[in-house]
Structure 1
Amino acid sequence: MSNTTAAVVSAEIGTAKKEKMPISLIWLTIGAFAIGMTEFLVMGLLPNVANDLNVSIPKAGQIITSYALGVAFGAPLLTILTHSIAKKKLLVLLMFIFILGNGLSMIAPNYTLLIIARIMTALAHGTFLGAGTLIATHLVAPHKKGSAVALVLAGLTIANIVGVPFGTFIGQQFGWRASFGVITILGFIALLGIAKYIPSIKENQHVSIMQEINAVMKPQVLLTLVAGLFGCASLFALFTYISPILQQISGFQEHSVTWILVLFGVSVTIGNLIGGKLADWKTTPYLIVNYAILSIVLAIFTVTLQNPILAIITLFVWGAAAFSIMPGIQLRTMTLASEAPMLVATSNHSFLNLGNAIGAYLGGLVITIVGLEGLPWLASALAFIGFILVLIIYKTDEKTV
């Protein structure tokens, strides 16, 4: 290699290292932050909501399940119905739906109407994150796509550090309805930022609905979606009931739960960003290791929950392992369906939230049958199924090469 060529290569590498994410991505992150806050907030306030609406904790858990099902079935349907709308306009519409749903949640007088309002809010969730991550990949260089996806999804995880603890504090001090009021205001801020700063993305060709559906139905795409489903089922089987678990098993006071959720939020944010870097490197191999670690950590949790200090340490590692999966699943599915990625991108969040619903539902059953102590075992088993599926994906990939 000549000195001139070496200098050019060195300059290109230096430029690549200095590349920064477009500042406009921050508004997608803020939108995801608002979505993450409304999704995870109820978990920290589950006992408060249950007491106020005069329902049991397992029944209150169905508020989370209904939201997840709204995402699971609403996202693909909404994506199909809004197929011809430009992505930026679609994001604005979805954020408006999000604001309306949270406003109705704030004033819902009973359990049934709260469920309905939560389902309405959920309609915006999957399609927003699908369209948002797709736009993000168009705004960066090819080797930065995983990191761009992780940056958008970081809104969900940062919501756990700032939004959920703050919303939980507001809910404990002024009632859980006040928390939904805060989220509604946040939705307005995100809406204004998206409308002003997110650029319109030119789509190179028209992709038909059938092309989108066929992309989702690819065997490798479906296997990846199902693996993601079990990852989220594992997360929500335990995290849905984390507040009563920490109070009744680990012995923490209610006010301590807020700060533990902050720590959990830090861990999931770290895990998400690490997952984005690893997704840019070797997606499937890192997912294999990730699922294995997740299953082992959750099994260990069955013991460490009895000790407050060990419980916090394990919770931190669990959060990082659980959320580092997400960018890899999202990037892999969109890459496999690069010719028609929109429905795949939203279907990914549909499957993830279907996993949320399944996990929360199974968690409620386990509480009824064996009590809160059985939840870590359930979560570990679900993560292990995800591990087996990713192994199958890896072996299938080898055969197709």
Structure 2
Amino acid sequence: MAQRGITIRQWLPLIGLTCAAFIFNTSEFMPIGLLTDISASFHISEAATGVMISVYAWGVMLLSLPLMVFASRFDLRHLLLAVIALFACGQFLSAVAPTFPILVLARLVVAAAHAIFWSIASVMAARLVDAERGALALSMIATGSSIAQIFGLPLGRAIGLAVGWRMTFCVVGAVAAAILVYQAVVFPVMPAGERFTLGQLPSLMRNRVLLALNAVTIFMSCSYYVGYSYIEPFLQQVAHLDAGTITMALTVFGFAGLLGSVSFSRFFDGHRFGFLLGVIGGLALSLLLMQAASFSLASVLVLCVLWGLCATAFNVAFQAEVISFTQASASAVAMSIFSGLFNLGIGCGTAIGGAVVSRGAIAGIGYVGAGIGAVGVICTVAWLFPAIRRTRG
């Protein structure tokens, strides 16, 4: 039996990888919607709790490239199963963590699994199918990741409100365990492929477009997470929304990501510079308007649409540009670096936002984020666009 040229034997492990991509990224975003409950549980501030998000992001940043190089020598089937098992263990440890430091340690365990998984997921997906179906396989992995960005945070928050934040981690761990059993049954033997080497790095360091893309990525992800990491307490304390309405707003934010994905597919190829400038400027504008939009539910929802659309479109567009300006043999390394730098921005943005919140200025986090985003806009116009024009000739 075949569907679109892919056999059922290929579909089954590919579906498992898609589900794994969803649960891995859901785990990354989930604590943002549970920040207030976690901080109350350990009797610490939201800013102090935000350290958990920074440590996770910095862990992924530091581990992505070295773990990708290390993992490339192992049989991919056993490596995948080991990574999912490690991920599930980290979730269960998070659920029972008696102290906040142990919770942070548990999140580092999850970060290690996260770094390895995203270094091998695309490679495994492509190898599961025939060469002419590789793009479809990769799009399924991207779909799992995108759905997590859209639904992961509100879903995690809804579970947390219903049964407590600890049970949220338990649920994620249980789903990961189910995926582990599923993949143990359906995933085929897959020998290690070509090993990644650090010798691929010098050529990437000389690529002007990649350097500019990476710089803008750091500024914009930092800008984004100054506000996004504390969006739950912001909506509670500044916009004065109740728990159910906050969940609704975060769900609207997530659904707006679908618009960002559709916008990318329709407009990016024909309007590259305008699209990039629009989504980057839209991100900075969203942060700038956070406080102004907090005075009514309608304006909060409009802001969530703009912010969610631009965030997803930015992420997809920049990944496409990284692949476009990288040789195929080095694309995995380039994407690992991109992921690491994006997480560097997440960690720094969360830390900066936490510093603002700890000073009792949560209402102003959007202005701080917008200032950093403005630097990203300037870098885009003054550095990235000229580099693309020179490379394209």
Q: With structure 2 as the length reference, what TM-score do the two structures score? A: 0.86
Distance in 2 separating the partners of 1:235 and 1:72: 17
One-letter amino acid matched to 1:347? I
Match of 2:47 in 1: 58
Change (3 A) 1:207 1:144: closer
How do 1:318-357 residues align onto structure 2 when only pairs under 5 Å count? 318-335=307-324, 336-357=326-347
Is 1:212 matched up with 2:200? yes
Change (3 A) 1:140 1:82: same
One-letter amino acid matched to 2:387? T
One-letter amino acid matched to 2:168? S
How do 1:161-180 residues align onto structure 2 when only pairs under 5 Å count? 161-180=150-169
How do 1:290-329 residues align onto structure 2 when only pairs under 5 Å count? 290-329=279-318
Change (3 A) 1:171 1:344: same
Match of 1:4 in 2: none
Q: Is the 8 A contact 1:131 1:345 kept in 2?
A: no
Match of 1:383 in 2: 373
Is 1:226 matched up with 2:215? yes
One-letter amino acid matched to 1:387? V
Question: Which is further off, 194-203 or 116-125?
Answer: 194-203
Match of 1:395 in 2: 386
Alignment RMSD (CA, Å): 3.1
Shift of 1:262: 1.7
Shift of 1:236: 1.2
Shift of 1:294: 2.0
Shift of 1:19: 9.3
Change (3 A) 1:164 1:228: same
How do 1:44-193 residues align onto structure 2 when only pairs under 5 Å count? 44-136=33-125, 145=135, 151-193=140-182
Distance in 2 separating the partners of 1:264 and 1:222: 30
Q: Deviations 1:357-379 (Å, cap 9, x if unpaired)?
A: 01101111222346112111222
Q: Is the 8 A contact 1:272 1:325 kept in 2?
A: no
Q: Deviations 1:25-83 (Å, cap 9, x if unpaired)?
A: 44333212112221111111111101111111100011111111111111112112112
Match of 1:15 in 2: none
Distance in 1 separating the partners of 2:290 and 2:6: 38
One-letter amino acid matched to 2:111? A
One-letter amino acid matched to 2:25? G
How do 1:14-53 residues align onto structure 2 when only pairs under 5 Å count? 23=11, 25-53=14-42
Shift of 1:198: 5.7
Q: Secondary structure of 1:84's match?
A: coil
Q: Deviations 1:274-306 (Å, cap 9, x if unpaired)?
A: 435656666565323321222223323331122
Structure 2, unmatched stretches of 5+, are none
One-letter amino acid matched to 1:121? V
One-letter amino acid matched to 2:199? Q
Q: Is the 8 A contact 1:231 1:322 kept in 2?
A: no
One-letter amino acid matched to 1:179? T
Shift of 1:106: 1.1
Q: Is the 8 A contact 2:212 2:387 kept in 1?
A: no
